[in-house]
């Protein structure tokens, strides 16, 4: 069983240590879900083998593990959860899924999506916690920097075309879409959404949910939705050729289409759409822009450790334009205190990449140029706000650490040799000393211009200053669901 959860960051959480296996199964299950929801975890994992049940959760994007339970007790826990979710207990050899509406001690409600699969070790069960009590996050409170926010609002102000939101599972794409819809939901537009599942009920928006069991998928709903006369259509995910082609046609016929897509960064969304059979020229004519995103953990402001950057004042020069006028050259590493449960972090924060489809970018897409060339074309016309720029600005503002940036972001986006204006000279990086004690160890294989990005940290023991000002608001949603 250790192999199943052995790669988790070994930061034990003690909130379940007091549970007695002699207490009732119903009480234990309720207590586990209650405590994990209080941690604002996005997922709860049960991994069962012949010897033990291991419990883990995903909190702020990081996997953590709890205490183990006996295998016999674990089987009873899993059976009880499956029964509550309406899952057949008689068939353990097939994947199964169900739903359970959980009422917390404070009377708030959490939607639990349960999925179970057989493994060679035993049974694995995962619970996705959809906490609707957070409410929708207004775009102005999303944690975007001013230039990022103005760019996104400009895209949303277009009457027709396609806006794609990309990123891996759990990077907050759904949260971004809901915030965008809230921005558009002023009563002047008819808005329809196609979702899997519907995560928030939004007044004033017509929401539909796919139903694979009945053979109703995104493509079917999208075709039907177009007959409803919408101004704005949100497609929860483009995952097949028919949905991709229909979405492009909808954007071309005067609708504003917002959709998510699995793509590592913005320019590669072009490849993803073309791989679904969409003609590059047709896609280029309808595309407004692409927002790609990752989640990093936000530092706890009560215990973060300042690291003076005065010995290398040019380290963050390429993002100086994004910082307050009175910014002090300083970055931070994670500390430890009771407020953050000794993790050094308190919430998830969105780091965006935004690519606007200017005429030059559209020509590059229509001409089938490679993603790196498309990104370079966008940068040349100031139509590309890169991951690198967004990430380093958040490091400079004390929102997160360099280790977090390395953990969460694509390294080929941090390593930007095609843009000399934002490339960090190797000799400058080499002059810095890695001396933080962050809770997330830096990967050994990642590098920036021949030197690990984690080396871009100054010895915190010898150079400490007062915290830099941070005027940025934050995305306080810690679950970071897709």
- Whichever domain contains 335, its CATH number is 3.40.50.300
Q: Among 82-86, 329-333, 347-351, 382-386, whose mean pLDDT is lowest?
A: 329-333
Asked if 36 contacts 77 with a C-beta cutoff of 8 angstroms, the reply is no
- 387-415: pLDDT as tens digits: 999 999 999 999 999 889 988 886 666 66
Reply yes or no on whether the pLDDT at 339 is more than 70: yes
pLDDT at 352: 96
The answer on 180 and 123 residing in a single domain is no
Report the candidate in 417, 411, 413, 419 with the shortest Cα–Cα distance to residue 382. 419
Q: How many domains does the chain have?
A: 2
Instruction: Report yes or no on 480 lying in a domain.
Output: no
pLDDT at 254: 96
Report the candidate in 320, 294, 480 with the shortest Cα–Cα distance to residue 405. 294
Report the candidate in 160, 161, 137 with the shortest Cα–Cα distance to residue 149. 137
Q: How many CB atoms lie within 10 A of CB 410?
A: 16
The CA distance from 220 to 349, in Å, is 35
**Positive or negative, the Cα torsion across 36, 345, 350, 135?**
positive
Report the candidate in 83, 96, 76 with the shortest Cα–Cα distance to residue 23. 76
Asked if 171 contacts 480 with a C-beta cutoff of 8 angstroms, the reply is yes
Instruction: Report yes or no on 367 lying in a domain.
Output: yes
- 154-183: pLDDT as tens digits: 999 999 999 999 999 889 999 999 999 999
pLDDT at 188: 96
pLDDT at 78: 96
The answer on 343 and 314 residing in a single domain is yes
Reply yes or no on whether the pLDDT at 270 is more than 50: yes
pLDDT at 39: 85
The answer on 125 and 217 residing in a single domain is no
The CA distance from 302 to 335, in Å, is 8
Q: Give the pairing of strands 232-235 and 256-261.
A: parallel
Instruction: Report yes or no on 478 lying in a domain.
Output: no
- What are the distances in angstroms from CA 117 to CA 7, 67, 72, 91, 432? 20, 22, 18, 11, 47
pLDDT at 14: 72
The arithmetic mean of pLDDT across residues 26-39, rounded, is 91
Domain end position, chosen among 133, 166, 199:
133
pLDDT at 412: 65
Q: State whether residue 397 is helix, strand or coil.
A: coil
The answer on 410 and 363 residing in a single domain is yes
**Positive or negative, the Cα torsion across 304, 307, 313, 314?**
negative
Instruction: Report yes or no on 469 lying in a domain.
Output: no
Asked if 203 contacts 178 with a C-beta cutoff of 8 angstroms, the reply is no
Instruction: Report yes or no on 57 lying in a domain.
Output: yes
Q: Which helix (H) or strand (E) holds 53?
A: strand 52-59
pTM, two decimals, is 0.80
The answer on 84 and 163 residing in a single domain is no
Instruction: Report yes or no on 103 lying in a domain.
Output: yes
pLDDT at 173: 93
The answer on 92 and 50 residing in a single domain is yes
DSSP, res 469? P
Percent of the chain residues past pLDDT 70, beyond the cut: 80
* Position with higher pLDDT, 452 vs 120: 120
Domain end position, chosen among 133, 152, 178:
133
The CA distance from 382 to 41, in Å, is 37
What's the pLDDT band for 363 if we cut at 50, 70, 90?
Answer: very high
The arithmetic mean of pLDDT across residues 373-378, rounded, is 92
What does the radius of gyration of the chain's CA atoms come to, in whole angstroms? 23
Asked if 426 contacts 415 with a C-beta cutoff of 8 angstroms, the reply is no
**CA end-to-end distance (rounded Å), the chain:** 27
Reply yes or no on whether the pLDDT at 237 is more than 70: yes
Asked if 145 contacts 393 with a C-beta cutoff of 8 angstroms, the reply is yes
The answer on 226 and 127 residing in a single domain is no
The arithmetic mean of pLDDT across residues 358-366, rounded, is 96
- 215-224: pLDDT as tens digits: 888 999 999 9
Reply yes or no on whether the pLDDT at 440 is more than 90: no
Percent of the chain residues past pLDDT 90, beyond the cut: 57
Q: Among 232-236, 253-257, 288-292, 417-421, whose mean pLDDT is lowest?
A: 417-421
pLDDT at 73: 95
pLDDT at 315: 67
Q: Which helix (H) or strand (E) holds 69?
A: strand 69-70
The answer on 429 and 315 residing in a single domain is yes
Asked if 160 contacts 466 with a C-beta cutoff of 8 angstroms, the reply is no
- Whichever domain contains 93, its CATH number is 3.30.450.90
The arithmetic mean of pLDDT across residues 252-274, rounded, is 95
The arithmetic mean of pLDDT across residues 249-255, rounded, is 97
Range of the domain at 28: 2-133
Residue 307: strand pairing partners: 331
Q: State whether residue 246 is helix, strand or coil.
A: helix
The answer on 52 and 160 residing in a single domain is no
Instruction: Report yes or no on 477 lying in a domain.
Output: no
Reply yes or no on whether the pLDDT at 253 is more than 90: yes
The arithmetic mean of pLDDT across residues 446-469, rounded, is 35
What's the pLDDT band for 134 if we cut at 50, 70, 90?
Answer: low
Sequence-distant (6+) residues with CB within 8 A of 461 are 435
**Positive or negative, the Cα torsion across 409, 411, 413, 415?**
positive
The answer on 169 and 27 residing in a single domain is no
* Position with higher pLDDT, 107 vs 451: 107
| Averaged pLDDT score across all residues of the chain | 82
Domain end position, chosen among 111, 133, 155:
133
The arithmetic mean of pLDDT across residues 132-142, rounded, is 81
The answer on 143 and 129 residing in a single domain is no
DSSP, res 455? G
* Ramachandran angles phi, psi of 17, nearest 5°: -65, -25
| SS3 labels along 276-317 | CCCCHHHHHHHEEEEEEEEEEEEECCCCCEEEECCCCCCCCH
DSSP string covering 310-376: TTSTTTTGGGGGGS-TT--SEEEE----GGGTTSSEEEEEEEEEEEE--HHHHHHHHTT--HHHHHH
Task: Tell whether omega for the bond before 177 is within 30 degrees of 0, i.e. cis.
Answer: no
The arithmetic mean of pLDDT across residues 351-373, rounded, is 95
The CA distance from 433 to 76, in Å, is 51
Asked if 477 contacts 347 with a C-beta cutoff of 8 angstroms, the reply is yes
The answer on 403 and 255 residing in a single domain is yes
Instruction: Report yes or no on 465 lying in a domain.
Output: no
């Amino acid at each position: 069983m250790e192999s199943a959860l052995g790669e988790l960051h070994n930061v034990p959480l003690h909130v379940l240590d007091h549970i007695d296996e002699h207490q009732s199964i119903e009480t234990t299950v309720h207590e586990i879900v209650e405590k994990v929801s209080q941690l604002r975890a996005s997922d709860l994992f049960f991994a069962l083998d012949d010897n033990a049940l291991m419990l883990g959760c995903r909190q702020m994007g990081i996997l953590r593990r709890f205490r183990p339970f006996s295998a016999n007790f674990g089987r009873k826990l899993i059976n009880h959860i499956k029964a509550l979710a309406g899952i057949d207990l008689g068939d353990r050899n097939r994947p199964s899924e169900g739903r359970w509406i959980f009422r917390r001690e404070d009377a708030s409600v959490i939607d639990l999506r349960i999925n179970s699969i057989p493994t060679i070790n035993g049974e694995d069960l995962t619970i996705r916690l959809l906490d609707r009590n957070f409410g929708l996050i207004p775009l102005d409170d999303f944690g975007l920097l001013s230039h990022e926010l103005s760019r996104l609002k400009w895209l949303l102000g277009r009457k027709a075309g396609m806006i794609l939101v990309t990123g891996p599972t759990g990077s907050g794409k759904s949260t971004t879409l809901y915030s965008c819809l809230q921005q558009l939901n002023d009563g002047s537009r008819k808005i329809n959404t196609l979702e899997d599942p519907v995560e928030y009920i939004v007044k004033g928006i017509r929401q539909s949910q796919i139903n694979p069991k009945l053979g109703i998928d995104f493509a079917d709903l999208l075709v039907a939705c177009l007959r409803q006369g919408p101004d704005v259509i949100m497609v929860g995910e483009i995952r097949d050729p028919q949905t991709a082609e229909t979405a492009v046609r909808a954007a071309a016929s005067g609708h504003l289409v917002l959709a998510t897509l699995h793509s590592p960064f913005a320019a590669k969304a072009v490849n993803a759409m073309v791989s679904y059979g969409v003609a590059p020229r047709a896609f280029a004519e309808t595309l407004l822009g692409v927002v790609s995103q990752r989640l990093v953990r936000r530092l706890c402001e009560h215990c973060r450790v300042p690291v003076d950057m005065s010995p290398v004042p040019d380290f963050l020069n390429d993002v100086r334009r994004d910082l307050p006028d009175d910014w002090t050259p300083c970055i931070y590493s994670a500390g430890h205190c009771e407020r953050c449960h000794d993790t050094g972090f308190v919430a998830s924060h969105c780091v965006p990449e935004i690519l606007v489809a200017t005429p030059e970018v559209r020509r590059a897409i229509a001409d089938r140029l490679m993603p790196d060339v498309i990104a370079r074309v966008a940068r040349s016309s100031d139509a590309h706000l890169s991951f690198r720029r967004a990430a380093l600005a958040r490091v400079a503002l004390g929102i997160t650490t360099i280790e977090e940036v390395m953990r969460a972001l694509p390294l080929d986006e941090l390593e930007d040799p095609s843009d000399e204006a934002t490339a960090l000279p190797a000799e400058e990086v080499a002059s810095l000393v890695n001396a933080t004690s962050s809770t997330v160890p830096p990967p050994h294989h990642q590098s920036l211009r021949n030197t690990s990005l984690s080396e871009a940290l100054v010895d915190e023991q010898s150079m400490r200053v007062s915290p830099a000002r941070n005027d940025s608001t934050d995305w306080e949603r810690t679950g970071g669901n897709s």
